[in-house]
Amino acid sequence: MRLVNFELEGKPCLGVVKGDLIVSVPTAIDLVAERTIIKFPGGTPRSKARHFFLTTGPIPEDINGLLALGDARRRALDQILDGVVEHFHADLELDRLFTPLGAARLLAPIPRPGKIICVGRNYAEHARETGGDVPSQPIFFLKSNNTICGPGDTIVRPPNSTQVDYEAELALVIGKGGKQISEDKAYEHLAGYMILNDVTARDMQSADKQWFRGKSCDTFAPTGPWIVTSDEIPDPHNLRITLTLNGQTMQDSNTGNMIFKIPYLVRYISQSLTLETGDIISTGTPEGVGVGRTPLVFLQAGDTVSVTVEKIGTLTNPVA
Ligand code: MG
């Protein structure tokens, strides 16, 4: 499933992408709960899914509710939505239910995550290009949640930085919270994956000798364009990851090059802190960032930066 947060009638709304349409989750649930759809086409399986979904737990009211649904309830919801699409697809009047994907304004999938946990130097070539050692243990740092912005939103260079850089990353989205999660249970805690551009003010980073301020300027975490649920990505360590700046390729690697893999990262960080639904873990960037280039490259007003991760999509943001 592709889970989106999009604008409907001027407000954020939860949606699921079905083909070239976004289906509004709250509208679809209202319709099936009100028994507007008495029978799904195709008979019993979706009727069973409907019964199961409506009777086995709270109905999700926000993105965290959607992320926290277990696999079984998420599959049931997916079946219901397929039924809704079949049943109502011809009804163009239902603009509360369907929004053409191409016409939608997508928002950050998780507007205010509790934590944005990032991994530094998790690709060996990137560690080398920035003059750092290849780490023997993961290096974690936080971005604050004021950094979040969505697809198409503008990355704003702050007035006190002239060295704003990009970092293409695969981000993990926590579904079921937990602590002291073992490696073999790590994937059970992931609802899905999205793209995160870990925008960084290098001059602040070097002036402060630590990373918080340079990583946490407003708009420095473009995310999206949606969350792809884990079941659609059986191997998250074999995804091409690229970044273009004004159409020119700057980063081109594969998530298989991560030094510390996803189960290790989840186990390591959850030994001492609780991961909660909606938390984001961004897994680090490969080589090709602006500060590692000769001559140096930094984001300028008028630039367009796009990150593409195979099987997920493309996240594009202008710079001002
Ligand atoms: Mg990074």
Residues 125 and 61 in one domain: no
Longest CA–CA span in the chain (Å) reads: 65
Q: Which helix (H) or strand (E) holds 264?
A: helix 262-270
Q: How far does the centroid of ligand 1 lie from the alpha carbon of residue 169, in Å?
A: 7
In this prediction, residue 30 carries a pLDDT of 87
Rounded to the nearest whole angstrom, what is the distance from the C-alpha of residue 62 to the centroid of ligand 1? 28
- Tokens coding 78: 């997916």
91 and 114, same domain (yes or no)? no
Is the omega angle on the peptide bond into residue 135 within 30 degrees of 0, that is, cis?
Answer: no
| Residue whose entry in the numeric block shows the structure tokens 């990505």 | 233
180 torsion bin: left (phi>0), alpha (psi -120 to 50), beta (else): left
Regarding whether 96 and 60 lie in a shared domain, the answer is: yes
φ/ψ region of 12 (left if φ > 0, alpha if ψ in -120 to 50, else beta) reads beta
CA of 284 to the centre of ligand 1 (A): 5
Find the 132 Cα to ligand 1 centroid distance in Å.
Answer: 14
**Same domain, residue pair 33 and 77:** yes
The CA 7 to ligand 1 mean position distance, Å, reads: 28
Q: Supply the pLDDT for residue 103.
A: 93
Torsion sign, CA atoms 222, 28, 52, 60 = positive
Separation of alpha carbons 96 and 23, rounded Å: 9
Task: Examine the domain organization and report whether 235 and 158 are in the same domain.
Answer: yes
Task: Specify the pLDDT at position 263.
Answer: 98
Between CA 193 and CA 237 the distance in angstroms is 12
Q: How many domains does the chain have?
A: 2
pLDDT at residue 86, as a whole number: 85
Q: How far is the CA of 121 from the centre of ligand 1 (A)?
A: 7
- Same structural domain, 54 and 119: no
Q: Are residues 58 and 182 in the same domain?
A: no
Q: How far is CA 238 from CA 25, 38, 95, 235, 286, in A?
A: 31, 43, 38, 6, 14
CA of 102 to the centre of ligand 1 (A): 30
Domain that holds residue 221: 108-318
Residues of the chain with pLDDT under 50: none
The pLDDT tens digits for 190-219 are: 999 999 999 999 999 999 999 999 999 999
Cα(160) to ligand 1 centroid in Å equals: 21
Contact 74, 28 (CB under 8 A): no
Burial of 116 (0-12, 13-18, 19+ CB in 10 A): buried
Distance 106 CA to ligand 1 centre (A): 23
Domain end among 103, 132, 156 = 103
For residue 240, the CA-to-ligand 1 centroid distance in Å is 17
Residue 52, SS3 per DSSP: helix
Distance 289 CA to ligand 1 centre (A): 10
Q: Indicate which CATH number applies to the domain containing 69.
A: 2.30.30
Which among 73, 31, 48, 78 is positioned nearest to 228, based on CA atoms?
Answer: 78
What is the distance in A from the centroid of ligand 1 to the CA of 25? 32
C-alpha 173 to ligand 1 mean position (Å): 16
**In the listed set 72, 103, 134, which residue is the last one of a domain according to the structure?**
103
Chain centroid to CA 184: 23
Query: Do 183 and 292 have their domain in common?
Result: yes
Give pLDDT tens digits for 282-319.
999 999 999 999 999 999 999 999 999 999 999 999 99
- Looking at the fold, whether 154 and 94 belong to one and the same domain comes out as no
- Same structural domain for residues 80 and 227? no
Whether 178 and 261 map to the same domain: the answer is yes
CA of 105 to the centre of ligand 1 (A): 26
Tell me the CA–centroid distance for residue 119 and ligand 1, in Å: 6
Among the three residues 37, 69, 103, which one is the final residue of a domain in this structure? 103
Same-domain check for residues 95 and 132:
no
pLDDT of residue 93: 63
Tokens for 66, please give them.
Answer: 């959607």
308 alpha carbon – ligand 1 mean position (Å): 15
Containing H/E element for 206?
helix 202-208
